[in-house]
Structure 1
Amino acid sequence: MQAVARVSVSSFGGPDSVQVEHGTIASPAKRTVRVRVTHASVGSTDALAREGRYLLQPRAGFTPGYDFVGVIDSDSPASGWERGTRVAGCLPRMGSNSTLIDVKPSLLVAVPEALPSAEAAALPLDLVTAGLAVALADPVPRPSVLVQGVSGALGALIAQHFASRGAAVLGTASARSRTFAESLGAHVLDYRDPHWRELAQVQQPDGVGAVFDHTGDPRLRQLASADGTVVRLAFVGRPGRERLDTVAGGAGAMAQYFRHPRTRVCSVPLFVATQPRRYRELLRTQFDRIVSGELRAPSVRVVPLSDVSRAHRELAEISPGQKIVLTLA
């Protein structure tokens, strides 16, 4: 048995509903390796789950977190990983906010030596989502894209991918995050402006080659060219009905697929669970792009595990281009 400390959401609610629990953990299960987590990110999906608004976490009593960095803490030669190796990964379901986790070896990649652990921990979920979203949109028939939430961690990565290739990037953002979004090479549309869609059509009268959407708004199909792609990254639901609206949004997106075959739904948990080899290759490639400077990593605000409630409170006030990472060491 080993001592373990993990974040627990024992009941849905605000930041103070997130607590640290201490206990023990038995030996690793077969076909898994034990990872001593040193850093794990805290993001908007964790806040959504904490509030009971996340479809994939319908009941309280869970440990949040998808991505992490840590070191191998078990001897398992057959796994291909040596004790002490620094690794990162993205879980197919939440649970990374724990000092010890048991993980299938196929979900782990080595962290590049040049990448600090705190910075690396902020990246896996967003890097994989961005890479998968871009792959779902390719080939882009026109050198132009629309990225909703372009100043967010995910939107910023997608915008950088296309801007570096000379594409025109339109992005929705707030006035507060305009400067950061423009530094990514994006032409900013203020999402609070009720006419922003009309302004997008003025910018790209023939439509953009791809729309990356996190709202599920069916009207965004009108902003894509006839042969363009709409990639649905998430579905924003009505207050108190988020999970139901997510199901409805997914069903609607599937229905749109038959009318518009260039509609895609990007589900990273499903991708990680069903295509581990492709997921690992994608994460390695994206890490290399961060190290080379092709993609800019977010700045990191590090918060100790003991202050996890503070980390959740600070989610509402982080600056554009910033992420929160728990240190669990």
Structure 2
Amino acid sequence: MSVAIRKVLIPSFGGPEVVKVVDDTLPGPPAQHVQVKVLYAGFNGSDINMRNGTYPLQRKAPLTPGYCFVGTVHANGPGCSKFKPGDIVSCLSINDAEATFTNQPEKFLIPVPTSVDHKDATALVLDWNTAYGMVKQTRSRLSKVQGKRVFIHGMSGAVGYALMILSKALLGPEIEVYGTASQRNHEAIRALGATPFVYTDKNWIRSVKDIGGVHAVYDPLGFESWDESYSILTSSEPSVLFGYGGNLQTLNPAPGAKVSTRGVLWPTLKLLSLNLKFWSWKSTVFYYISRDRSSFEVDLEELFSMVGEGKVEVKIKQVLELEEVPTAHKEWTSLQGMGSVVVRIP
């Protein structure tokens, strides 16, 4: 049976003015799908890139964004029996989460423990799971390195904040954490035991080189920033640059610039080509999260446990209402606070 829904719609690619909130009808769930009443959806850089039409392999417009969500099972489609109505589930949906109801494949739904707040769980699905995957790889790649130093771009952002907290939790008590963040968040970041720099003045490059470089850099900006990040890796021990996201053009647009259509394919190939310098201690990785990866559900369950047991604390920067999403697209670069942004679905 179909249901009336309220949803965010990107009818065509372009600036923030294209984003709308509209009424629609959602058909009943097809075979092997479950219809979920959404409680919270994630809001992050992928929304901005999808609106611009620059997200890799994205759906064509018109589309409803929303890369992840937590909600209650409403109805099972044919062939579904894993969950019952009322069960709390999470999902890396990629699309369609910023809506009152969504139909998603049953195989991608993961139960949410009662010990985890629904807002926090939403942040864990994408933001924290992305960070967790990179930190785990860092721990494996640099297992023999003592006195690790890491550098995180965007420490006050969703994935950056998670990287900061998980690095402190998982990479050993001797870990030194550096990174970039808005000046207004520097005091709070220092209180968490990290050393922040302002990205735009580039003083971080010289300062990090002066301490001998770092063993890992996490860079969601891409393009020219990956070259800068590669330059601050230490060359005296194994080190790795994790590139992900490709958000430089959305976070630092030139004044009065039109919507950029630069994709991340060529910058990514350039990033990976640096591995041809086999004589160097340095290596590069383009990291992306995938719900098809066998480790996805395992990692998310481990994060649920860490939060439920109080080992780490999720930070929510802002809770938006569904009707506020168009405004959030306009104000994306000036949202206050640290951590993840989630959308409460009425």
Compute the TM-score of the two structures, normalised by the length of structure 1: 0.88
Aligned to 2:300: 283
Change over 3 Å in CA distance of 1:242–1:287 after alignment to 2: farther
Change over 3 Å in CA distance of 1:236–1:300 after alignment to 2: closer
Map Cα deviations across residues 107-153 of structure 1 (whole Å, 9 max, x no partner).
22222213232332233110111011113323223421111111212
Q: Write the distance in 1 (CA, Å) between the matches of 2:83 and 2:59.
A: 34
Aligned to 2:228: 219
Change over 3 Å in CA distance of 1:173–1:283 after alignment to 2: same
CA displacement at 1:242 relative to structure 2: 4.8
CA displacement at 1:54 relative to structure 2: 3.2
Aligned to 1:233: 244
CA displacement at 1:236 relative to structure 2: 4.2
Aligned to 1:246: 264
Note if contact 2:29-2:35 (Cα within 8 Å) is conserved in structure 1. yes
Aligned to 1:9: 10
1:195 aligns with 2:200: no
Q: How does 1:21-100 map to 2 (within 5 A)?
A: 21-57=22-58, 59-75=60-76, 78-91=80-93, 93-100=94-101
Note if contact 1:55-1:243 (Cα within 8 Å) is conserved in structure 2. no
Q: Write the distance in 1 (CA, Å) between the matches of 2:261 and 2:200.
A: 24
CA displacement at 1:237 relative to structure 2: 5.3
1:162 aligns with 2:167: yes
Change over 3 Å in CA distance of 1:214–1:322 after alignment to 2: closer
Question: How many corresponding residue pairs?
Answer: 322
Change over 3 Å in CA distance of 1:300–1:195 after alignment to 2: closer
Aligned to 1:115: 116
Q: Write the distance in 1 (CA, Å) between the matches of 2:113 and 2:48.
A: 29
Moved beyond 6 Å, runs of 4+: none
User: Which residue among 178, 181, 184 is the counterpart of 1:176?
Assistant: 184
User: Which residue among 307, 320, 339 is the counterpart of 1:303?
Assistant: 320
**Unpaired stretches in structure 1, ≥5 consecutive residues:** none
**Unpaired stretches in structure 2, ≥5 consecutive residues:** none
Q: Write the distance in 2 (CA, Å) between the matches of 1:310 and 1:241.
A: 17
Letter of the 1:149 counterpart: G
Q: Write the distance in 1 (CA, Å) between the matches of 2:206 and 2:182.
A: 17
Q: Write the distance in 2 (CA, Å) between the matches of 1:237 and 1:308.
A: 21
Compute the TM-score of the two structures, normalised by the length of structure 2: 0.84
Q: Write the distance in 1 (CA, Å) between the matches of 2:136 and 2:46.
A: 22
Q: Superposition RMSD on alpha carbons, in Å?
A: 2.4
Change over 3 Å in CA distance of 1:257–1:29 after alignment to 2: farther
Change over 3 Å in CA distance of 1:89–1:183 after alignment to 2: farther
Letter of the 1:279 counterpart: F
Aligned to 1:124: 125
CA displacement at 1:19 relative to structure 2: 1.3
